Structure 1
Amino acid sequence: MKTLYKEDIKKIIPHREPMLLIDEINILEDDSIIGKYFFTGNEWFFKGHFPSKQIVPGVILCEIMAQTSCGLFLDSHHDSMPYLVGIHNAKFRKAVLPKDIIHVKCSMVSIKKPFYYVKCKIYVHHNLYANGELTLFLK
């Protein structure tokens, strides 16, 4: 297993704070990856979603899945970045809250170049909180 930390991640995706939403990526031997993010409670979206009962917006969870998925392309496409072009079957099963640590498991399902299909699952304390399938385009 290889682990990438925030400075390594910044070398492979163009996102920066406050939109860089991955703290580390673990590259597993079965061609899947696990991303990790710790919600501090100070993220910009909590100010409006929702001030009296803060929860992470589903669109942010989808963005985290997409950013984590970029780690699947480390070895084969050093000069290209995948672009998110589709989100399918996204399900938000439980609310992700401030101070939660999420683990995002992403696996390549199929490839029909230039499209790549990725399945993602978000866990908090080993419980499934959200999942979805992404279509990524690699130019």
Structure 2
Amino acid sequence: MNKEELKKILPHREPMLLVEEAYVNEDGTATGFYTVKGDEYFLQGHFPGNPIVPGVIQCEMMAQSACVLFADKMIQEGFIPVYTGLDKVKFRGMIKPGDKIRIDTKILKEFPPMYMLHGEISVDGKRCMNGDFSFAIVKEEKES
């Protein structure tokens, strides 16, 4: 899925849409990509003169990439994915402007509407982050 196709299943929009492309692999895992341009809002103070993609942004990229695994559930109007937890997250390398990030995720357990997954982020084949995470696909509660 390209960015426009992702917008059909994800509620996220710029500047919080943090995946440019994602797809489901034959083995049931998902792979997503994002190229760090250098002008992203999250680099504007993290850190001046030495921009590094924050860990929390990497976690969000991981979850957004995994959502292609649940496209059939998320395409239903009024349902959104919400983070419910992170576990065993390790940051192993810095991600900087110009880096093309690869995000690989797989389902560990399913208890609809809850899902537990594992994800890894790498740049040029070098692992930069990995961890387990969970989210739920829930009915959106609109503000009145």
CA-based RMSD of the aligned residues comes to 1.1
Structure 2 residue 49 is matched with structure 1 residue 52: yes
2:24 matched to which residue of 1?
A: 27
Q: Structure 2 CA distance, aligned partners of 1:38 and 1:90?
A: 22
Q: Structure 2 CA distance, aligned partners of 1:76 and 1:48?
A: 37
Cα offset, 1:76, TM superposition: 4.5
Q: What TM-score do you get using the length of structure 2 for normalisation?
A: 0.90
SS of the residue corresponding to residue 42 of structure 2 reads helix
Q: Do the aligned residues in 2 keep the contact of 1:70 with 1:81 (CA within 8 Å)?
A: no
Q: What TM-score do you get using the length of structure 1 for normalisation?
A: 0.93
2:9 is matched by which residue type in structure 1?
I
In structure 2, do the counterparts of structure 1 residues 76 and 46 end up closer, same or farther at CA, with 3 Å as the change threshold?
Answer: closer
Q: Do the aligned residues in 1 keep the contact of 2:116 with 2:135 (CA within 8 Å)?
A: yes
Cα offset, 1:62, TM superposition: 0.5
2:40 matched to which residue of 1?
A: 43
1:134 is matched by which residue type in structure 2?
F
1:115 matched to which residue of 2?
A: 114
Q: Structure 1 CA distance, aligned partners of 2:70 and 2:28?
A: 10
Q: Do the aligned residues in 2 keep the contact of 1:115 with 1:135 (CA within 8 Å)?
A: yes
1:131 is matched by which residue type in structure 2?
N
Cα offset, 1:78, TM superposition: 3.0
Cα offset, 1:66, TM superposition: 1.1
Q: Structure 1 CA distance, aligned partners of 2:29 and 2:18?
A: 19
2:94 is matched by which residue type in structure 1?
A
**Structure 2 spans left out of the alignment, 5+ residues:** 139-144
- 5 Å-filtered alignment, 1:75-114, equals 75-79=72-76, 80-114=79-113
SS of the residue corresponding to residue 103 of structure 2 reads strand
Cα offset, 1:127, TM superposition: 1.2
Q: Do the aligned residues in 1 keep the contact of 2:108 with 2:116 (CA within 8 Å)?
A: yes
1:65 matched to which residue of 2?
A: 62
